[in-house]
Structure 1
Amino acid sequence: MSIQVTPLALSEVKLIEPKVFGDPRGYFFESFNVREFESQVQPGVQFVQDNHSRSVKGVLRGMHYQIEHAQGKLVRVVEGAVFDVAVDMRRSSPTFGKWAGAQLSADDHKQMWIPPGFAHGFVVLSDEAQFLYKTTDYWYPEFERCLLWNDPAVGIVWPIDFEPALAAKDAAGKSLSEAECYA
């Protein structure tokens, strides 16, 4: 077994820890293996797009989701550290409006699986961070929506003591009561 999978506060959101083989020369690990992923995380997933972002300390990206063409995301950090968050945006779910989060870093190689139907975002904790993620559907800007990162109804506990740097679309995110949600 090359990964250890731990459900987070929302059981569908999973923290994935790969087995890392290291010695004085460096390390090696499988960052993705479809057999392991399907047997331990989510069967039947097909990834269609890989994305890469770089951000400096204090940048908060999110909370993004697509109201049509919902995306599942497998996320990881290849430089630095972030606090990564998922919020359940499915009205019919018993965990609607609840969140789960975890710290991900290049040092620990952990990944997070965010299923379709969840908003996703992260804040950069290190001087800079490079963030990679696979998606199960393509990006459709016309369907992109943004949940307000600090909506008190959701109550995300961000591990920061500063006002984050936000893109205009993220600063204009909707509260959970105003947001367009999944059925």
Structure 2
Amino acid sequence: MPGRPDKIANREVSAMRITQLAVSGVFLVEPKVFPDSRGQFLEAFSQPAFEEAIGHPLSIAQVNCSVSSRGTIRGLHANQLPGQARYMTCPAGAIVDIVVDIRVGSPSYGRHVAVELSAANRHALYLAEGLAHGFSPLTDEATVVYLCSTTYSPDTAITINPLDPGLALPWPGGSEPLLSDKDRIAPYLSEAEEFGLLPSYAACRARYDQLSDQALVG
């Protein structure tokens, strides 16, 4: 299937360029920005462009907005399958968004990709179901707006400690990290696997195929 999250995709359409990164299911979205004397215009999200690159549309059930100060780390968060896909943007300030492959059996299990999203670059990041992510401001304050394929479900939530030394994630330094109590006491990745909390790579791939097949039928 074109653009399926287990295959490499690099598509450029009129509104944006969408490129799969080193971890399958993680896509960088680079919208075309049109500046003029009034300011600028861009398409922050395009369903046709998204579907062409990913292989299925993004069903949007919830839109979240958070404002964070420098030193904050939000994450690492994911959901049990069928999971929650996310489309991340940063309309004010700048953040580093870090996605970790927690799909047991994945060729890139335990690896991460880190992407800067900012009001300056206008990039977005899409992560498919079964992946965990977190973010931290690179500026004194940053606003993050993200589209979610499902509504919040605490019963299916997965939380991994973002300071897991085994992951060694490249969070910004310079101050003591500010975490929620839930994130601070969350298990390390190895512990979450031992507890049976993580999705399997095979189940995630089956989910991606299901979404692509539904798009074809539709």
Same fold (TM > 0.5): yes
TM-score normalised by L of structure 1: 0.94
> What letter is aligned with 1:101?
A
Structure 2 counterpart of 1:112, from 99, 104, 125: 125
Correspondences of 1:52-131 after superposition (within 5 Å) = 52-131=65-144
Corresponding residue for residue 170 of structure 1 = 183
Corresponding residue for residue 181 of structure 1 = 198
Corresponding residue for residue 134 of structure 1 = 147
Measure the CA separation in 1 of the matches of 2:124 and 2:54: 11
Q: Does 1:159 align with 2:172?
A: yes
Following superposition, the deviation at residue 4 of structure 1 comes to 1.1
Q: Say which is worse superposed, 11-20 or 154-163, in terms of deviation.
A: 154-163
Q: Greater RCO between the two (CA within 8 Å, min separation 6)? A: 1
The 3 A distance-change label for structure 1 pair 42 and 134 is farther
Unaligned runs of 5+ in 1: none
The 3 A distance-change label for structure 1 pair 37 and 130 is same
CA RMSD of aligned residues (A): 1.4
The count of residues paired between Structure 1 and Structure 2 equals 183
> What letter is aligned with 2:140?
D
Unaligned runs of 5+ in 2: 1-13, 201-218
Q: Does 1:27 align with 2:40?
A: yes
Measure the CA separation in 1 of the matches of 2:148 and 2:55: 13
CA contact (8 A) 2:161 2:189 kept: yes
CA contact (8 A) 1:69 1:137 kept: no
Could you say which structure has the higher helix fraction?
Answer: 2
Following superposition, the deviation at residue 62 of structure 1 comes to 0.2
Measure the CA separation in 2 of the matches of 1:69 and 1:141: 14
Residue by residue, what CA displacement relative to the aligned partner does 1:142-161 show, whole Å, maximum 9, x if unpaired?
Answer: 22121110212222122323
Following superposition, the deviation at residue 9 of structure 1 comes to 2.4
Measure the CA separation in 1 of the matches of 2:170 and 2:34: 33
Sequence identity of aligned pairs in percent?
A: 35
TM-score normalised by L of structure 2: 0.80
Measure the CA separation in 2 of the matches of 1:54 and 1:97: 28
Q: Say which is worse superposed, 124-133 or 149-158, in terms of deviation.
A: 149-158
Q: Say which is worse superposed, 85-94 or 5-14, in terms of deviation.
A: 5-14
